[in-house]
Chain A
Amino acid sequence: MEAISALADDELGAEAEAVRAHLESCVACRAEYGSLVAVRDLLRRPSLSKSVPEGFWAAVERGLDAHDRAGEGVIGRLRSALAQTPRAWPMRFARNVALAGAAVGALLAVLWFLPTHQEQVASSTTALKAIALDFEGHMGREAAEPFPYHTPAEARNAFLATVGYPVSMATAPAQSVSFVGGRVLRGPRLNGIELTYALGPHRVSLYQVPDGGSIPVGMADQAYGSRRYYFDTLGACNIVAWQENDVLYALASNLDHLTLLQLARQVQVAPPVGA
């Protein structure tokens, strides 16, 4: 009987001929076939398909706009922050925190430094740096544990087991970005996992933290040691940024491998300073 239903959809494969032959000779099955087709065709009645509500696609467009803005938002905001005088940018950054709440979708964010304020920037320093270790040194090193996992899958499973927050990572091997390793961090401020990727000749370290966890959503800017850290959230991304001498650093949590890949395609990888 089930085969009759599949036959009506042309999804029967090798059995189809035999079932068709049976229908020729069996009145009951032929009736069943006709009746199932009638039910199916009833569901395809054109009047059952409703028009989309007015303004539907315009709302989708707004969602896409928000996504586009968010993708550039972190970068744009850090860029404009640096365009201010060095003393002014943190306030600007903090003020813009509110804007982030409107951001939608999965987000790009990384460790950006943009040389818009030339006199503040050492001549060869033209870009952002990933200095996860530095951040961790201030916020979680005392409890860092060795990380015994060596593949994204192992890391993901360990992460799920540790913090229960799903981390999506590419299942296909990355061309330009490869997973190097990571470690579990357990600190008073940073509790999550650090993942390190090779990006060309460079290394990038990212933090994945539990949702709303170690870098809490809406966490106020705070000073640790001699530094002031600025916290922000964009969608599922938690971001912390700080300034050191004339360089602005930002770290993003919840960045997955695919997002990183996407980002890697969008940024130009420059030679490391001094290379």
Chain B
Amino acid sequence: LPVLRGPGSQESRGDNRRAEFEALAHKYSRDIYNGALRMTRSRDDAEDLAQDTFVKAYASFHQFRRGTNFKAWLFRILTNTYINAYRRRQRGPEFVALDDLTADQVAKTRSGEGASQAEPEEAALARLPDEEVEAALEELPEAFRLVVILADMQELGYRDVAQALDIPIGTVRSRLFRGRRLLRRRLREYAAARGLI
């Protein structure tokens, strides 16, 4: 039978662990909150999700390998928490068959696009207000949206995105490409509606 004794030093060790965690985690609170905001598309849910993420990260901080990318580790927890707990109550666009989207997209983007139009188009997109960029992002089907949030907004590398979403790197690459094209299509529509293009 095991005989275990409570240590007198447990408290101070706990404090060190917590201090180390807080020192690392605090500087990512904005990133995590913004990631959660783009995932949930709701300020209230984002706050809860981001706070849950930090508490979960703290609870499993012993699993974090020192010297590896802490931000990527936090985003992995954020993504898992979102997928497991928050996505179920989400409204809004759901998954769309990937083939349909891409076939449609490739056809549209290949026509009528030339070098001469590229410069003004980029300038036009840059003049879109935040609200329309956010709206275009929110309309993105989730498979693409998650990859775009992690890679484009949070600037995680493909490998970290792949781990966070538990998908192969090749899938990250193709979803990101398709996601960007879907976004571009929507942004062009907004720009055209404003007479920018």
Confirm or deny: A143 has a beta carbon within 8 angstroms of a beta carbon on chain B.
no
Q: Say yes or no: B7 contacts A42, CB within 8 Å.
A: no
Knowing A31-B114, A48-B134, the reply to whether A38 touches B55 (Cβ < 8 A) is: no
B2 within 8 A of A: yes
| B50 with A56: CB separation less than 8 A | yes
Separation of A51 and B32 alpha carbons in the complex (Å)? 11
Interface size on A, residues (CB 8 A): 69
Chain B contacts for A43, CB-based, 8 A: 133, 137, 148, 152-153, 183
Determine if A271 is an interface residue (Cβ-Cβ < 8 Å).
yes
Query: Which residues of chain A are within 8 angstroms of B30 by Cβ–Cβ distance?
Result: 49, 51-52
In angstroms, Cα B187 to Cα A107, docked, is 47
Known: A11-B173, A50-B34, A56-B29. A39 touches B10 (CB 8 A): no
Whether the pair B118, A35 counts as a contact (CB closer than 8 A) is yes
A35-85, CB < 8 A from B: 35-36, 38-40, 42-45, 47-53, 56-57, 59-60, 63-64, 66-68, 71-72, 75, 79
A6→B177 contact, CB < 8 A = yes
Q: Would you call the interface of chain B mostly helix, strand, loop, or mixed?
A: helix
Contact A104 B115 (CB under 8 A): no
What's the least CB distance linking A130 to chain B, in Å? 5
A23-40 vs B, CB cutoff 8 Å, 1 = contact: the mask equals 000011011101110111
Docked pose: A130 CA to B113 CA in angstroms: 72
Q: Are B29 and A35 in contact (CB under 8 A)?
A: no
* Interchain CB contact under 8 A, A57 and B29: yes
Do the beta carbons of B51 and A63 come within 8 Å of each other?
yes
- Which of B3, B54, B118, B152 meets A40, CB within 8 Å? B152
Query: How many residues of chain B get a CB closer than 8 Å to chain A's CBs?
Result: 67
Q: Within the complex, which residue of B55, B153, B177 is in contact with A44, where a contact is CB–CB below 8 Å?
A: B153
Contact of A202 among B2, B6, B59, B109 (CB under 8 A): B2
List B residues at the A interface (Cβ < 8 Å). 1-7, 10-11, 13-14, 18, 21-22, 25-26, 29-30, 33-34, 37, 43, 47, 50-52, 54-56, 58-60, 62-63, 106, 109, 113-115, 117-119, 121-122, 125-126, 128, 130, 133-134, 137, 148, 151-153, 155, 157-158, 173-174, 176-177, 180-181, 183-184, 187
Closest 5 CB pairs of A and B: A202-B2, A63-B55, A5-B177, A38-B122, A31-B118
